[in-house]
Each structure stands twice: as C-alpha cells, then as structure tokens.
Structure 1
Amino acid sequence: MGFQEFFQRYFVDPIKYNQGYNPVNTTVYAIILGIAVLLLHRMLKRMKIRVDERFFVALIPYIFLGPLMRAMTDVGMLPRTYLTVSPGGYFVIAGFAIAALFIVWRHVGPGEKLYPLYRDVGLLLLGGLLFLLLINLDKTDFRWKYFVYFIPSFLAAEGVIWILSRKFDLIKNNGLLFYTHFYDATTTFVGIQFFGYWEQHVLARTLIDLTGTPAVIYLEKLVILVPIVLILDRYMEDEDPDLINFVKLAMFILGFGPGTRNLLIALMGA
C-alpha cells in the first residue's frame, strides 16, 4: 500500500464518508494533540501569559465555536468540508483562537487588558456564528424531547461524581474535569440509547459493542481520567504549574467540546 492510498483510507475516507475514527488516525491525532499542547504551552510562556482563571474565562467563547460550527454543519447551515467537521474544524477554530490571542497580545501586551479584550474578540466570532444560526433557523427542527432523556440522565451522572468527590480528594480537587466528562458521557449515552446515534471513537465504540450498552462510557471516562489526574497531581507536582493547568485545560476542552457538539446535534435534529 502506497502512502497516498494509506492516507486516503485512514484519513480522507473516514471524513468523506462519515466513518468515524479508526486506530490509525486516532493515534496520529493524539500525537498531534500532545505536541500541540507542549508547543502552545511554550508559546504562552514566551508571551508571559499565565494559564489561570482569567485565561480560562477569556477562552470560553472559543471553546463554544467548535461544537456550534459542527452542529450547524450537520444540519446543513454550513457546507460539509474537511474544514468544518472534526478534526479539521477544530484545527480551524484553534487557528482562529491562536491568531486572535497573538494579535491581542501584540496590541496590549500580557497585562490585565489582554484577557477581556481576547474574550471580546471570541464573543465577536461566536456572535457571527450565532447570527448565521438565527437566519437559518428554518433548516432546523428542534427536538425538545431530547431534554426528557438528557436531564434525568445528566443529574444522575453528575450525582455519581458528587458522591465520589465526597469520598476521594482526587476527584474533589478536579471536580470540573470529572463533571465535564460525565456531561460528555451523558450526551453520548442519551444520543445512542434513545435517538439511534452511533459512537465515532474507536475505544468507546469497541466497549459499547462488547457490553451492549452505551452506559459503559461512564466507566471508560473514570478509567481514563483517574490515572491521568493522579499522575498530574501526585507525580508531576514539581513541574511547571502552568503546564499542569494547560494540560487540564486541554482535557476540559476534550470533554466539553464533544459533549456540547453531541447535545447541539441531537437537539437540532441532525
């Protein structure tokens, strides 16, 4: 198999024919993500931008851009191209977020003015996408009954995290991550269990096939999250705090982004 055929089979066709992820592209995308996290952390250090609560709040509009763009693509409001579906769409949004940060940083420097201005640029981009959504609402048949299944499932899932956080400090101290990823798991569970969706990720898809239930996603989340957080908090405590915070920020985005995408796609009837 030549490189062109290999690339077509494992990277192009899965996007073109909506086949989901496979072991090859999953591994490559994971490596790219890891390298990107390290490079972005180094960039932020050189720009003297701290990865703290101010940065997290300023980043929120950009975090919403990816899920909203994907949902609008699936309902036909945006053209389906390699740049509007995952992972290409997330590369595009990341490009916008990095470019906006660099422009704002060049304009005001790394001081207090950076964070609200960076947030406002993100809100402007998000507002443009929401405007496109509003003028294309006729293409959407909102499925409000989704919440009949989502709300009780969500409350039950988050209740489990609340109980675990009372018993384990590791979960309590990283509550936002665990609550967010159980939110993501709930959107997956509800979409598959009640609305006939299917899982695109290799490991989750395999576990669902083996167990016969999408509820296994919750267990998968715990099995993956606990050791990662344990390593970050217990065995990397001497590392740069900004690096630890940035890794956790990336983990948050990996939970909140897909979860919000799933919710919007199901709600908008895609």
Structure 2
Amino acid sequence: MGLYEFFYRYFVEPIKYNQGYNVVNTLVYALILGVAVLLLYKMLKRMRVKVDERFFVALMPYIILGPLMRSMTDIGLLPRTYLTVSPGGYFVIAGFAIASLFAVWRHLGPDDRLYPIYRDFGWVLVAGLLFIMVINWDRVSVRWDYFKYFLPSLLVAESFIWLLSRKFELVRNNKILFYTHFYDATTTFVGIQFFGFWEQHVLARTLMNLFGTPAVMYLEKLVIITLVIYVLDRLMTDEDPELINFVKLTVFILGFGPGTRNLLITLLR
C-alpha cells in the first residue's frame, strides 16, 4: 500500500463515507492535538495572554462555534465538506479562534480590553451561524421528546458526580471537568439508546460492542478523566500552573464541544 492509498484509506474515506474514526487516524489526531496544545501554550506565553477565567469566558463562543457548525452541516443547512465535518471543521474553528486572538492582540497587546473584544468577536461569528439557521428554520424540525430522555439521564449522571465530589478531593477540585464529560456521555447515551445514532470514536465503539450498551460511556469517561486529572494534579505539580490550566481547558473543550454537537444533531433534524 502506497502513501497515497494509506492516507486515502485511513483519513479520507472515513470522512467521505461517514465511517467514523479508526485506530490510525485517532492516534494521529491525538498526536496533532498534543503538539497543538504545546504550541498554542507557548504562543500565549509569548503574547503574555494569561490562561485564566477571563480567557476561558472569552473563548466560550469559539467553543460553541464548532458544534453549532457541525450540527448545521448534519441537518443540511451548511454544505458537507472536509472543512465542515470533524476533524476538518475543528481545524477551521481553531483557525478562526487563533486568527481572531492574534488580530485583537496586534491591535491592543496584552491589555485587559483584549478579553472582552476577543469574546465579542466570537459571539458575532456565532450570531452569523444562528442567523443562517433562523432564516432556514422552515427546513428544521425539533425532536421535543428528546428532553424526556435527556433531562432525567443528565440529572442522574450529574448527581453521581456531585456525590463523588463530596467524598473525593480530586473530583471536588475539578468538578467542572467531570460534569462536562458526563454531560457528553449523556448526549451519547441518549442519542444511541433512544434515537438510533451510532458512535464514531473507536474506543467508545469497541467498549459499547463489548458491554452491549452505550451506558458504558459513563465508565469510560470516569476512568479517563480521573487518570488525566490525577496526572495533572498529582504528578505534574512542578509544572507551570498556566500549562496545567491550558491542558484542563483542552479537556473541557473535548467534553463540551462533542457533547453539544451530539445534543444538537439529535435534537434537530
């Protein structure tokens, strides 16, 4: 198998034929993500942009932009191309987020005004997509019965995290990450269990086939997030706190983004 055939089989065909992820592209995308996190962190340090609560709030519209664009693609309001489905769509959104930050920074420098202006520019982009959805609302229908499955499942899942947070300090200090990833697990569970969707990620798909239920997503999330947080909070205590914060921000995005995408593509059709 030549290089072109290898690339086409493992990277192009899964997108072209909506086959989901495989072991090869999953490992490559994970490597790209790891390198990107380190490079972006170094870029923020050179720009003297602090990874704190202000940055998190300013980044939220860009985090929402990804799942919104993907869901609009899946329901036919945006054309399905390599740049509007994952992972290409997330590269596009990341490009928008980085370019917007750099443009504002070039104008203001590391000034306190950078955060609200960067945030507002992101909300303008979100508003643009929402405008497209509104003017095409006659092409969209809503599964209102989705909430009778989603809300009870989410309540049970997040109550479990609340109970864990009362007993374990590691969970208590990182509740937002556990809550977010159990939200993601709930959207996956409801979409597959009650609405006939399927899992794209290779590890989760393997576990579901092994255990025979999408509820295994909760166990997968609990184990993986606990291990990641343990490494960050217990084994990397000598690292720059801002690097730890940036990695945790990435973990949040990896839960909130797919979870919101799952919610929207199941709710809307």
Fold-level match, TM-score > 0.5? yes
- The equivalences for 1:1-270 within 5 A come to 1-269=1-269
Cα distance in structure 2, aligned partners of 1:205 and 1:227: 20
Alpha-carbon offset, residue 224 of structure 1: 0.6
CA distance in 1, matches of 2:139, 2:17: 22
Distance 1:54 1:164 in 2: 28
SS in 1 for 2:92: helix
Alpha-carbon distance in structure 1 between the residues aligned to 2:176 and 2:250? 12
5+ unaligned residues in a row in structure 2: which ranges?
Answer: none
**Residue correspondences, number:** 269
**Distance in 2, Cα, partners of 1:259 & 1:36:** 22
Please state whether the residue corresponding to 1:97 is helix, strand or coil: helix
Q: By how many angstroms is 1:57 displaced?
A: 0.2
**Distance in 2 separating the partners of 1:126 and 1:187:** 22
Aligned-residue offset at 1:26: 0.1
CA deviation after TM superposition for structure 1 residue 198, in Å:
0.4
Following superposition, the deviation at residue 135 of structure 1 comes to 0.7
Distance 2:257 2:31 in 1: 19
Deviation at 1:40, TM superposition (A): 0.0
1:179, distance to aligned residue in structure 2 (A):
0.1
Query: Whole-Å Cα distance in 2 between the matches of residues 52 and 27 of structure 1?
Result: 29
- The structure 1 segments of at least 4 consecutive aligned residues displaced by more than 3 Å after TM superposition are none
| Structure 1 residue 223 displacement after superposition | 1.0
**TM score, norm. by length of structure 2:** 0.99
Q: 1:111 offset after TM fit, Å?
A: 1.6
Once the two structures are superposed, what CA deviation does each residue of 1:26-46 show, in whole Å capped at 9, x if it has no partner? 000000000000000000000
Helix, strand or coil at the partner of 1:141: coil
Deviation of 1:139 (Å): 1.4
Whole-angstrom distance in 1 between the partners of 2:144 and 2:85: 24
Task: Give the superposition deviation at 1:9.
Answer: 0.5
Cα distance in 2, alignment partners of residues 137 and 69 from structure 1: 15
User: For residues 235 and 75 of structure 2, what CA distance do their matches in structure 1 show?
Assistant: 45
Q: CA deviation at 1:185?
A: 0.1
SS of 1:110 mapped into structure 2? coil
The alpha-carbon deviation at position 227 of structure 1 amounts to 1.1
Amino acid at match of 1:216: V
Cα distance between partner residues in 1 of 2:266 and 2:116: 32
TM-score (norm 1): 0.99
